[in-house]
Amino acid sequence: MTTSNIGDDDRLRRVIRVDRRPKRPSAPAVTLTFTHRALLKIKHVPEQLMDVTLTPVIFTLMFVYLFGGAIAGDPQTYVQFLLPGILVQSVLLITVYTGFTINTDITKGVFDRFRSLPIWRPAPIVGALLGDSVRYTVASIITIGLGLLLGFRPEGGVLGVVLAIVLLLIFAFSLSWIFTILGLLMRTPNAVMGVSMLILMPLTFASNIFVDPETMPSGLQTWAQSINPVSYLVTGVRELMYGTATFGDIAWVLIVSASLTAVLAPITMRLYRTRT
């Protein structure tokens, strides 16, 4: 190697040398980065919003006009009872896509790259969950907008509707940890989807979303009224929209949400760290 080449190498080292290592990004900054990544995926593949936009419309129209007359006498009366429940169902059905998208990233090797980065470990998962909250909000707005067109009139006003959506988003965030765990355990995205729907079906249909549990057989009535957490959520959302919510209605939902997150989040992170 010539003297000139050695001199060029020295000058290059001086140019690219870093005297101080950059600081590690904070946990909130990294989480927001992954949240932005989730939103960019929606921006570049807007077809992901098809389920968010079509599912609420289909379920609302189908149940109001197919069963409204039989259950409540007419669709306008039934929509007053159904709309808060169908709002809950529409959002909870969308939560399964959290595990689906995480499993897709795992099968493509993307999560292995995330785990190798010097960042706050939960950031990729928490960021994905926060990004999905935007999808839940879109579904909520579409459901309520359609309900208003069909004659739904929330006596709790705008504030009651907003608080109901916030309560629903909190519960949906906590429930998403279940499907995140499935996304880490299942081998394929389709397997995640199948198992997730098996969990959601009894939670949503065997609840007080569509009918008053007092009309159910005793065993199913006990499940819908006293055990099923979705029934507590529907009651809270419904009462907020009606303007008759009590502290107990909201407290139970918040307690269940906090409990789900406190139990499932550590399990999720353990699976995330040990997955090979």
The structural domain count of the chain equals 1
Mean per-residue pLDDT for 13-24? 68
Question: Under a CB-based contact definition with an 8 Å cutoff, are residues 231 and 216 in contact?
Answer: no
Query: Is the confidence at residue 196, as pLDDT, over 70?
Result: yes
Tokens of 239: 């009462």
Q: What is the pLDDT of residues 83-113, one digit of tens each?
A: 999 999 999 988 888 888 888 888 888 887 8
Q: Answer whether residue 7 is part of any domain.
A: no
Question: Under a CB-based contact definition with an 8 Å cutoff, are residues 268 and 184 in contact?
Answer: yes
Q: Answer whether residue 222 is part of any domain.
A: yes
User: Mutual orientation of helices 27-44 and 123-150 as an angle, nearest 10°?
Assistant: 50
> Please, which pLDDT band fits residue 204 given cuts at 50, 70 and 90?
very high
Q: If you average pLDDT over every residue of the chain, what do you get? A: 87
Host domain of residue 263? 25-274
d(CA 104, CA 136): 20
Q: Answer whether residue 55 is part of any domain.
A: yes
pTM for this predicted structure? 0.85
Cα torsion at 151, 152, 158, 161 (round to 10°)?
A: -150
User: Mutual orientation of helices 157-185 and 247-274 as an angle, nearest 10°?
Assistant: 20
Q: Answer whether residue 101 is part of any domain.
A: yes
d(CA 67, CA 73): 9
What local confidence, expressed as pLDDT, does residue 172 receive? 94
Q: Answer whether residue 4 is part of any domain.
A: no
d(CA 144, CA 94): 16
Q: Answer whether residue 2 is part of any domain.
A: no
Question: Under a CB-based contact definition with an 8 Å cutoff, are residues 35 and 131 in contact?
Answer: yes
Q: What is the pLDDT of residues 242-272, one digit of tens each?
A: 999 999 889 999 999 999 999 999 999 888 8
Phi then psi dihedrals of residue 200, to 5 deg: -75, -35
Q: What is the pLDDT of residues 49-71, one digit of tens each?
A: 777 788 888 888 998 998 888 88
> Please, which pLDDT band fits residue 149 given cuts at 50, 70 and 90?
very high
Q: Answer whether residue 51 is part of any domain.
A: yes
Q: Answer whether residue 17 is part of any domain.
A: no
